[in-house]
A and B are shown apart, each in its own frame.
Chain A
Amino acid sequence: MRTLRFLLQKEFRQIFRNKSLLPLIFFMPVVQLLVLPLAADYEVKNIHITIVDRDHSTYSQKLVSKIGASGYFRLTDYTMGFDEAFKDMEDDRSDLILEIPPGFERNLVRENQQSLFIAVNAINGVKANLGGAYLNRIIADYNKDICLEWIQTSKFNPSPSIEVTQSNWFNPSMNYRFYMVPGILALLVTMIGAYLCSLNIVREKEVGTIEQINVTPVQKYQFLLGKLIPFWVIGMAIFTIGLFGIAWPVYGIVPAGNLLLLYGYLSVYLVGILGLGLLISTYADTQQQAMSVAFFFMMIFILMSGLFTPIDSMPRWAYIIARSSPVTYFIEVMRMIVLKGNSFEHIWRHFLIMAGFAVCLNGWAIVNYRKTN
């Protein structure tokens, strides 16, 4: 225990003395938490539409104003020619083109039937899908209005209609930041923990001081604990600053669940993710290598964590990879405790899995760390 105390004292001294790294460790997350949630908003809104109206009738005008009033679309352009409209799409100024053919009103009345042409910029598939669906819904609505206008006089026969009501639980205002901020906080803690931890040990390898430690009676587990604990503390500190310093006052995110439970999970998680950092450092000889390997895994873990795209939509193999990453579980638990207010009985399985990760990764790191070669 005394040895560990000396190791810890040394690590903390070195970390707090590093004037170029320390501000980065604490300043970067704060900036990121302030900027990222503002920027990382992939909600589909602001769909731009160009309308080519070649009819210029009362009916076409009505349709155009109905689209404008719907709130889903922003009218980029209102033109006569399709080529102009297509130029808008090429320049990314417009996502949808609606073409109202000449004689739209006349044909509708005389022939009871008329087609509209819609072109969708489908590079962003989700936006295209939703934009198309919204436009279709507006047109169907508009269609119903017209029907009623004509039929009303003859006979009272409204069509059957189903009203869909929607309630959004756990986040009734559908505030996007409630979702992103805890997730981003989780990612920041993960990245800083794993990177710093792995780089720190490899740095001692590069400088050569690790040799000096290896000839002393310091045990493997003592040395690794001496590296793990300081970054565990830093991870806790960053999380606390992020949660109480930013998420709460700036975004109004108050954890719905038990704080003790949240911190309990965080502490297990940090042990796991730092274990990953330790493991990487036992394999790498240079900081560049450690960074490359850490980046490689972090990238996969973060992209597949479920924060950016839903895990359920992934194909089977990808789903398995996502489920083998500690980051996925932490992001899930963050959402569960902070937003849904889950209690221990709902997430005990998550605890068990994370404890498993922590034991495996750290165990592997201890086995693989060699004082001799």
Chain B
Amino acid sequence: MNEIVIQTDKLTKRFGDFIAANEITFDVYKGEIFGFLGANGAGKTTVMRMLCGLSKPSSGAATIAGFDIYRQTEAIKKNIGYMSQKFSLYEDLTVMENIHFFGGIYGLSGRQLKEKGEALITRLGMRNETKKMVSSLPLGWKQKLAFSVAILHDPKIVFLDEPTGGVDPITRRQFWDLIYDAVERGITAFVTTHYMDEAEYCNRISMMVDGEIKALDTPANLKKQYSADSMDEVFYGLARKAKRNL
């Protein structure tokens, strides 16, 4: 039995009468890539924000890396990395300054910062860009950098909120290589996306429709279950039933 790193039980978020996420229950195991899929407005980001401690659940329970999301949010924050769809590095700081800043506030020592920073730069092949402002980098590079910075402190889990939005297929492929790298080092990846080809890269995926999880399994099992050839078909099959935003 694998170690469970994320466990949720009937996690719910209401905004007034609107139920953004309704009784979400699932487990994520250590070292897997967990895909969190759904149409825009299905509630993916709401769930992710609750798991990261950015948003308080209305009801239900969850533990992240063994910590309770109501009482131990600060402990959770030490053990997770986060990269959001809104771009999350400081545009007016250089590549190296961003690495040092985020590493620094996660409490890395001076030596660790130096070593990890070097390793990161080498891995991304950004040796010549270390002194450039982040604002001057192409989008794909920014996102690879943002991901690398998010896992600089070796978190147990990294949350990726639509990390590959707006970049070309080659860069997306490279980005996923980075995720695989991280997973090999024992980091669990929790990814939201609406690119169905990316869903195939995940170990397991869940499909959210109208604030509820409608399906959860490996990509292969899901295709079998819905007798579909691709994840696209699975998604359309489920999303067609949605009442919201369609």
* B80: Cβ under 8 A from any A Cβ: yes
Q: Is the CB of A208 within 8 A of B86?
A: yes
Interchain nearest-CB distance for A17 vs B (Å):
6
Q: Is the CB of A216 within 8 A of B102?
A: yes
A10 to B92, CA, bound (A): 10
Contacts of B55 in A (CB 8 A): 372-373
Q: Select A212's contact among B53, B88, B107, beta carbons within 8 Å.
A: B88
A215 to B51, CA, bound (A): 10
With contact pairs A208-B87, A209-B90 given, residues A216 and B77 touching in the complex (Cβ less than 8 Å): yes
| Closest A residue by C-beta to B85 | A208
* A9: Cβ under 8 A from any B Cβ: yes
Interchain nearest-CB distance for B198 vs A (Å):
22
- Residues A8-41 near B (CB distance < 8 A): 9-10, 13-14, 17-18
Interchain nearest-CB distance for B171 vs A (Å):
21
* B244: Cβ under 8 A from any A Cβ: no
- Residues B112-135 near A (CB distance < 8 A): none
* A156: Cβ under 8 A from any B Cβ: no
| Closest B residue by C-beta to A223 | B105
With contact pairs A14-B92, A372-B54, A373-B54 given, residues A217 and B78 touching in the complex (Cβ less than 8 Å): yes
Contacts of B105 in A (CB 8 A): 3, 6-7, 213, 216-218
* A45: Cβ under 8 A from any B Cβ: no
Q: Is the CB of B104 within 8 A of A372?
A: no
With contact pairs A371-B53, A373-B54 given, residues A217 and B92 touching in the complex (Cβ less than 8 Å): no
Interchain nearest-CB distance for A13 vs B (Å):
6
* A5: Cβ under 8 A from any B Cβ: yes
Q: Is the CB of B97 within 8 A of A2?
A: no
Q: Is the CB of A215 within 8 A of B53?
A: yes
A231 to B87, CA, bound (A): 26
* B177: Cβ under 8 A from any A Cβ: no
A6 to B82, CA, bound (A): 19
* B218: Cβ under 8 A from any A Cβ: no
* B56: Cβ under 8 A from any A Cβ: yes
Contacts of B87 in A (CB 8 A): 207-208
* B93: Cβ under 8 A from any A Cβ: yes
Digit string of B53-71 for contact with A (CB within 8 Å is 1, else 0)?
1111000000000000000
- The size bracket of the interface on B is 20 to 34
| Closest A residue by C-beta to B75 | A217
Contacts of A372 in B (CB 8 A): 53-56, 73
Q: Is the CB of A212 within 8 A of B84?
A: yes
With contact pairs A3-B105, A13-B97 given, residues A215 and B90 touching in the complex (Cβ less than 8 Å): no
Contacts of B102 in A (CB 8 A): 212, 216
* B144: Cβ under 8 A from any A Cβ: no
Interchain nearest-CB distance for A224 vs B (Å):
14
* A214: Cβ under 8 A from any B Cβ: yes
* B156: Cβ under 8 A from any A Cβ: no
Contacts of A208 in B (CB 8 A): 84, 86-88
* A211: Cβ under 8 A from any B Cβ: yes
| Closest A residue by C-beta to B57 | A372
Interchain nearest-CB distance for A210 vs B (Å):
10
With contact pairs A215-B53, A373-B54 given, residues A14 and B101 touching in the complex (Cβ less than 8 Å): no
Contacts of A14 in B (CB 8 A): 90, 92-93
Q: Is the CB of A13 within 8 A of B93?
A: yes
Interchain nearest-CB distance for A6 vs B (Å):
3
Digit string of A210-248 for contact with B (CB within 8 Å is 1, else 0)?
011111111100000000000000000000000000000
Interchain nearest-CB distance for B124 vs A (Å):
19
Contacts of A207 in B (CB 8 A): 86-87, 91
Interchain nearest-CB distance for A153 vs B (Å):
90
With contact pairs A211-B84, A212-B84, A217-B77 given, residues A6 and B104 touching in the complex (Cβ less than 8 Å): yes
A10 to B104, CA, bound (A): 10
* B100: Cβ under 8 A from any A Cβ: yes
Q: Is the CB of A6 within 8 A of B101?
A: yes
Q: Which of A207, A213, A216 has the most CB of B within 10 A?
A: A216
* B74: Cβ under 8 A from any A Cβ: yes
A102 to B86, CA, bound (A): 85
Interchain nearest-CB distance for A22 vs B (Å):
12
Q: Which of A212, A219, A371 has the most CB of B within 10 A?
A: A212
A6 to B74, CA, bound (A): 19
Contacts of A13 in B (CB 8 A): 92-93, 97
* B52: Cβ under 8 A from any A Cβ: yes
With contact pairs A372-B53, A372-B54, A372-B73 given, residues A215 and B80 touching in the complex (Cβ less than 8 Å): yes
* B26: Cβ under 8 A from any A Cβ: no
Task: Give the B-binding residues of A (Cβ under 8 A).
Answer: 2-3, 5-7, 9-10, 13-14, 17-18, 207-209, 211-219, 371-373
A-B residue pairs in contact (CB < 8 Å), sample of 9: A5-B104, A207-B86, A207-B87, A208-B86, A211-B54, A214-B54, A215-B80, A217-B78, A371-B53
20 further A-B pairs in the complex, CB-CB below 8 A; given A3-B104, A3-B107, A215-B77: A6-B100, A6-B101, A9-B101, A9-B104, A14-B92, A14-B93, A208-B84, A209-B88, A211-B88, A212-B88, A212-B89, A212-B102, A213-B105, A215-B80, A216-B77, A217-B106, A218-B105, A371-B54, A372-B56, A373-B56
